[in-house]
Chain A
Amino acid sequence: MEPLISIRLDRPQRAYQVGETIHCQYQVDRVKLNQLQAVEASLLWYTEGKGEEDLGVHYFQRNIPTADEPDIRALKQFQTTLPGSPLSYEGIILKIQWCARVRVFLQDGTTYTQDQAFLLGKTPVAQIVQP
Chain B
Amino acid sequence: MIHSTNVIPAASFTTNPFATRWTRPDACLFLFPPNTNIQQLLDQLHQQQGWGQIVGPHGSGKSTLLESLKPALESRGHQLAHYALHQGQRQLPMKWSDNLLQHATQVVVDGFEQLSKLSQYRLKRYCRKFDKGLLITTHQPLGFADLIHLQPDLATALRVVAHLQRNHPEIIHEDDVRRHYRHHSHNLREMLFCLYDLFEKRRLETGAPADSV
Contacts and interface: CB of A to CB of B under 8 A. Distances in A.
Contacts of B7: 124-125, 127
A49 B19 contact: yes
29 contacts: A48-B13, A48-B21, A49-B19, A50-B196, A51-B20, A53-B20, A89-B9, A90-B10, A90-B13, A91-B2, A92-B197, A92-B200, A95-B13, A97-B13, A97-B213, A99-B213, A117-B12, A117-B212, A122-B8, A122-B9, A124-B5, A124-B6, A125-B4, A125-B5, A125-B7, A126-B3, A127-B2, A129-B2, A130-B1
Instruction: Tell me if B's interface is mostly helix, strand, loop or mixed.
Output: loop
Nearest to B19: A48
Contacts of B15: 48
Contacts of A52: 20
Contacts of A117: 11-13, 212-213
A126 B13 contact: no
B9 A90 contact: yes
Nearest to B13: A90
B16 interface: yes
Contacts, number: 88
A31 interface: no
Interface in A95-131: 95, 97, 99, 115, 117-119, 122-131
B1 A128 contact: yes
Interface of B: 1-13, 15-16, 19-21, 24, 193, 196-197, 200-201, 204, 212-213
Nearest to B12: A117
A34 interface: no
B9 A128 contact: no
Interface residues of A, number: 33
Interface of A: 13-15, 46, 48-53, 88-93, 95, 97, 99, 115, 117-119, 122-131
Contacts of A53: 20-21, 24
A18 B55 CA distance: 50
A120 to B, nearest CB: 10
B204 A128 contact: yes
A115 B21 CA distance: 15
A99 B212 CA distance: 11
